Amino acid sequence: MTFSFNRIICLCSTLLLLSSTVYADARKDSFDVQHYSINLSIRQLSARQIRGFTEITIISRINGLSKVRLDLLGMNVTAISQDDSLLSFQRNGEQLFINLEKVVNTNDTFVLNVHYAGQPQTDPKWGGFFFNGNYAYNMGVGMGSVPHTYGRCWFPCVDNFTDRATYTFHITTDTGFTAVCGGLLVSETKSGDSSLWAWELNQTIPTYLASVAVGKYVFVKNTYKGIPVWLAVQANDTNNLKASFAPLFDALDCFESRFGPYLFDRVGFVGVPFNAGAMEHATNIAYPLYAFDGTLANETLMAHELSHNWWGNLVTCSESEDMWMNEGWASFCEAVYLECRYGKQAYDENIRAKCNDVNLNAPRQDKGWLPVSGVGFLNTYGRHVYTKGALVAHNLRQTMGDSAFFAACRSYLNTYRFKDANSETFKNEFQRFTAYPLASFFESMVYDSGQVSIGIHELSETTDGNGNWVKRLRLRETTKFKSNQNSVRLAILNVIYRDSISAIPVTLTNGTSDELTLQGNKNNNPPLAVLVNYTHGMALGVNYELRTIKTTGSAIPLNNALFSINPRTISTDSLFIAVAHHWTPPLDHTELYEQGIRINTDRYWQVNMYGHSDSLDEIWGFFNYNGSPDAYVDNTFMRELASEDSLVLLFRNRLQPDKRFRVVNCTYQPGASKTDKSGRFWLEQLLPGEYALGIRDSRVVGLPKNRGSVSVPNLYIYPNPAEKNITVHITNCSKGELSVMDIVGRTRMNMIVENGEHRIDISTLNKGVYVVMIKTPSGTVAKKLIVE
């Protein structure tokens, strides 16, 4: 299943209370549903009603079974029978308690016939049963409901992730409409102004994977290795469907080669007017019409849903707390598909994008750093489950190696096919294929929250008499908010050259590597940067941005690194910059030149530059901070900060004799105020090295110091906010350069000024926030300007 994270709405406070509810279903110990025969009339769609009956074949697991509890949401039950005898029953919310005609014993089979009618419901968050114009269809998950399985919104059932059964569907529609369900089409019978569609699904599935879609459908038919491939859309969408699904067989080949044979009766997708994602119904995937656009823009969505036929449909997570085994692996399969179709680079780029997304967005959306297993109700379908779950699968692949990893995938899927599993059974099966103890991997990557990254401890960089460069370094693991450490076994050291990237496997023991030596000819293709896990490596708590810059004077946002630059002058034909944004503390972060400073242990930047001259280049760097409670960027670090005046930017170069962090002389730019805990530091001479935020804190050993006593200009702006004109009053400035810049650092106005008042026309500026900066030989001052 895929959905738009941005379209998930908030739940009411009553539903939030369910987040602590543990949903346990012990009915499997008493009885087991073997088969559902769903018989419904879905006609006159504008009435938004369904009516009919479901025959439920049940086998008893105990002696003396006298009552059966089924789940049904909102429907009016008119009668329940067993062997043509009417049964008594009671309703309690979504639960239907049925008194059997007679006591049944172990292995006895009986059939209940439940007649019902009404308007099926939608979930308050995502999923349910929908009527939309000429369409009626279900989306089998209710993200805001307990349990999340949502078969009960349209038929009586045992609604959980573990109860599997086979299905037949008999759906009556108006003439001109088609009912598309799971399995194979058995028959179509026309009678007057109606049609009866019969479908049969022979593989067992849980209730949330059962489906129906009614519309003016036509079928685009094919076969794959003898398996019917039926795709259903309205006639005017068939050409777009064929174009958008051109890679479908490539995706099937890819997943069969990695995970084993496709084991369902049919490959099927059906188009529905649902604007918030797709749903992996067995053999009948509900696919949004917007994705049938005649392009391959949504091919990873197609691959994600198709892969559920292995990860989720074939083997289902035993409980919602392990949803990463369904959705995390399907998200991982997006990258696997891209690798099959476009090569390893496409795979790496997708994994890197997922890593950036997790680090930047998962804590903010899911309200904290979470594990992927054992998530609570509100985060069953969060970014940790989907995207970090995919990274866990990738990291397991890197840890085990491809041969063992994919052999374990095939064995696991075969062993638990048409069954359910949990993280422990998953781990135990994969452990059979590797000598590396997976217990520590699972404790850190699956069951533990927080982040881990690998830092480069550079020891030295020299050049010998023959022009060869020699770099000595060591890799070390750092963590944040984790109880389990030293979990990374393998890292990839990437040496970035102008025309290639080398990948050097490095083994870590107890969180550190042996000392490494890199060398080469400094005059022939010298390295641009040395990074960890940029390609082929473990996806951890670090975001990368790499750029080659050939023009000056324009701001360049490096969004994944929460950083931007503005190259003012470059002394060579191009400048290469690589920024690694680590979501963990800097290595040896207690090494500070100045006492009385508390360094940010949530994150730091590592900046690499090539083609850079300290004396000739002027590279502005903008380091953004955000300590607001919902940002999950600097909120821990800035939680007790009363005013941002005490913030400082720290810098160190590990290749220098003094490797300690020092305060950088730069411009501090708050956001809307000095107390909203957002803003940036403006550094006018960006240098290679490591950067971190700090706070002057009297509670830290040592005396706090002022930012500096250098005489700088005074700058006053009024009115502020302003609409058409401002007056800039300047003192302590014989002559300087005044610039007005937008929030991303682009210069919008520029002039030479001196002491006194200057009236400036700002009518050409759009509404928004700007920075007015005056730069003189004695210093630089910047103030915020709001244009209304």
- The H or E element spanning position 181 is strand 178-181
d(CA 459, CA 436) in angstroms, rounded, equals 30
Read off the pTM.
Answer: 0.87
Q: Pairing between strand 285-288 and 267-272?
A: parallel
Orientation of helix 327-342 relative to helix 299-307, angle to 10°: 130
Burial class (CB in 10 A: 0-12, 13-18, 19+), 526: middle
Q: Are 759 and 730 in contact (CB under 8 A)?
A: no
Comparing C-alpha atoms, which of 300, 370, 292, 298 is closest to residue 336? 300
Q: Name every residue whose Cβ is closer than 8 Å to that of residue 525 and which is 6 or more positions away in sequence.
A: 497, 498, 499
Token pair 């549903």: residue: 33
Q: Are 452 and 540 in contact (CB under 8 A)?
A: yes
Q: How many CB atoms lie within 10 A of CB 58?
A: 24
d(CA 764, CA 171) in angstroms, rounded, equals 63
Half-sphere exposure of 384 (CA within 13 A, CB side): 27
The length of the chain, given as a count of residues:
788
| Chain centre to alpha carbon of residue 709 | 47
pLDDT of residue 6: 52
Q: Name every residue whose Cβ is closer than 8 Å to that of residue 769 and which is 6 or more positions away in sequence.
A: 672, 742, 743, 784, 785, 786, 787
The beta-carbon contacts of 625-628 under 8 Å, at least 24 apart in sequence, are 625/677, 625/678, 625/679, 625/680, 625/681, 625/693, 626/562, 626/677, 626/678, 627/677, 627/678, 628/676, 628/677, 628/678
Q: Take residue 727 and report the two structure tokens written for it.
A: 């007056």
Residue type, 84: D
Positive or negative, the CA dihedral 28, 31, 35, 38 is negative
pLDDT digit string (tens) for 388-431?
Answer: 999 999 999 999 999 999 999 999 999 999 999 999 999 999 99
pLDDT digit string (tens) for 281-316?
Answer: 999 999 999 999 999 999 999 999 999 999 999 999
For the chain, residues with pLDDT lower than 50 are: 7-22, 701-710
d(CA 336, CA 256) in angstroms, rounded, equals 12
DSSP state of 512: B
Domains of the chain with bracketed CATH: 2-317 (2.60.40.1730), 320-449 (1.10.390.10), 541-709 (2.60.220), 714-787 (2.60.40.3080)
Q: Cis peptide leading into 147, omega within 30 of 0?
A: yes
Burial class (CB in 10 A: 0-12, 13-18, 19+), 33: buried
Torsion angle of the four alpha carbons 534, 301, 382, 478, in this order, in degrees rounded to the nearest 10: -10
Q: Are 140 and 149 in contact (CB under 8 A)?
A: yes
d(CA 19, CA 250) in angstroms, rounded, equals 40
From its phi and psi, is residue 128 left (phi > 0), alpha (psi between -120 and 50) or beta? left
Q: Name every residue whose Cβ is closer than 8 Å to that of residue 587 and which is 6 or more positions away in sequence.
A: 455, 457, 476, 478
Furthest C-alpha separation in the chain: 102
Q: Take residue 362 and report the two structure tokens written for it.
A: 């998962």
Q: Are 183 and 143 in contact (CB under 8 A)?
A: no
d(CA 589, CA 661) in angstroms, rounded, equals 8
Residue type, 377: F
DSSP state of 326: T
Burial class (CB in 10 A: 0-12, 13-18, 19+), 770: buried
d(CA 281, CA 208) in angstroms, rounded, equals 7
Q: Take residue 370 and report the two structure tokens written for it.
A: 């979470």
SS3 of 374, please? coil
Residue type, 564: S
Q: Name every residue whose Cβ is closer than 8 Å to that of residue 498 and which is 6 or more positions away in sequence.
A: 525, 528, 576
Orientation of helix 402-415 relative to helix 423-431, angle to 10°: 130
Comparing C-alpha atoms, which of 198, 199, 201, 182 is closest to residue 190? 198
